[in-house]
Amino acid sequence: MIETDIVVIGAGPTGLFTVFEAGLLGMRCHLVDSLTKPGGQCAEIYPNKPIYDIPAYPEIMAGELIDKLLEQIKPFSPGYTLGETAEKLSKSEGKFLITTDKNTQISAKVITIAGGLGNFEPRKPVIDDLNKFEDNGVQYSIVDPKKFQGKNVVISGGGDSALDWAVYLANGIASELTLVHRRDSFRGHLDSIDQINKMTELGTINLITNAEVVELIRSGDSLSSIKIKTQDKIIQKETNYWVPLFGLTPKLGPIANWGLNLDKNNIEVDTVDYSTNIEGIYAIGDINTYEGKLNLILSGFHEAALMAHSAFKHVFPEGKKSFKYTTVLGGIKGF
């Protein structure tokens, strides 16, 4: 069994920053995440997407932000249980016990739910035998772009993720990049749309609009070609990979059965300290809800700081610890 002061469910930006704020107060954290690496959506879905609302960074790539957060919390040596989902919750003798879907058990006095919008599942297109092609040519996310080096790649979608990855892979990675979109206008940032249009004019990207993939064809165990339906014809196109990026569907998962007050898929909290209706359990970041809520990484950082000071009372009920600001001589090394 793993023992810690705070179990942080969710290793995205808000969950990682929780380790820092808790560490300043002498509390140990253990992070649990269903993804196989820390960073949440920033690392898994759009590591090369710029973020603009982080103080002191006019612009920072999502993946770089995660790297900076991991560097920041390194002095506090957090524990990690990755690739597992927090499933069961129980409490005994003043401590919570979390059991994951792989039967890992973690004991702590405080639980902080920082799981973004919950567990995410890709929105899958309705195509016959789609499941037979998953991981054999059909990918719902791009984790390692090198996998597509020299390959013929088709991306479907019209949002930021589809546009960003189309631009990225078309720049010297994929041998051929085709972007298929159901409409003739996009939902992404204007800068990304401009890049798509310019690369289409240059022939770097094959753009097919008012169209959708309707059939997958295999050769052996892997995808070999797809059929694309346009307004007036069917195009059969050879490809190594088809990446449908139609967004993600958030699901609260097993946490929905823990007895927390919910508003749809969000957890209701008290804005004094972002505590839930269960004493000792907090919810911070996009997964919580309250009047005036802003779904910003910046807001999650603020919530993590207030939560940590409240959690301290549960972890160390016997006394009050003086808080040291990070501007004192020696900085973090002085703790």
Report residue 320's pLDDT band, with 50, 70 and 90 as the boundaries.
low
Report residue 329's pLDDT band, with 50, 70 and 90 as the boundaries.
very low
For the chain, percent of residues with pLDDT exceeding 70: 92
DSSP string, 203-259: TSSEEE-S-EEEEEEEETTEEEEEEEE-SS-EEEEE-SEEEE---EEEE-GGGGGS-
Whether residue 323 is predicted with pLDDT greater than 90 in this model: the reply is: no
Look at the pTM and tell me if it is higher than 0.75.
no
CB neighbourhood size of 96 (10 A): 19
Query: What integer is the mean pLDDT of 180-203?
Result: 92
d(CA 245, CA 124): 9
What are the structure tokens assigned to 222, written together? 């892997």
What are the structure tokens assigned to 19, written together? 């380790």
Alpha-carbon separation of residue 70 from 46, 55, 86, 326 (angstroms): 17, 17, 22, 17
Report residue 229's pLDDT band, with 50, 70 and 90 as the boundaries.
very high
Q: In 3D, which of 7, 183, 172 has the Cα closest to residue 81?
A: 7
Tell me, rounded to whole angstroms, the distance of Cα 87 from its chain centroid: 18
Whether residue 265 is predicted with pLDDT greater than 90 in this model: the reply is: no
Average confidence score pLDDT of the chain:
90
What are the structure tokens assigned to 309, written together? 């000071």
For residue 333, the model assigns a pLDDT of 53
What are the structure tokens assigned to 244, written together? 């449908």
More confidently predicted of 7 and 330: 7
Query: What integer is the mean pLDDT of 152-167?
Result: 92
d(CA 82, CA 37): 6
Whether residue 335 is predicted with pLDDT greater than 70 in this model: the reply is: no
Whether residue 87 contacts residue 254, with contact meaning beta carbons closer than 8 Å, is answered with yes
More confidently predicted of 161 and 281: 281
**In sequence order, what are the residues at sequence separation of 6 or more whose Cβ sits closer than 8 angstroms to the Cβ of residue 210?**
181, 182, 183, 184, 230, 231
Report residue 53's pLDDT band, with 50, 70 and 90 as the boundaries.
confident
For residue 14, the model assigns a pLDDT of 96
Whole-number CA gyration radius for the chain:
22
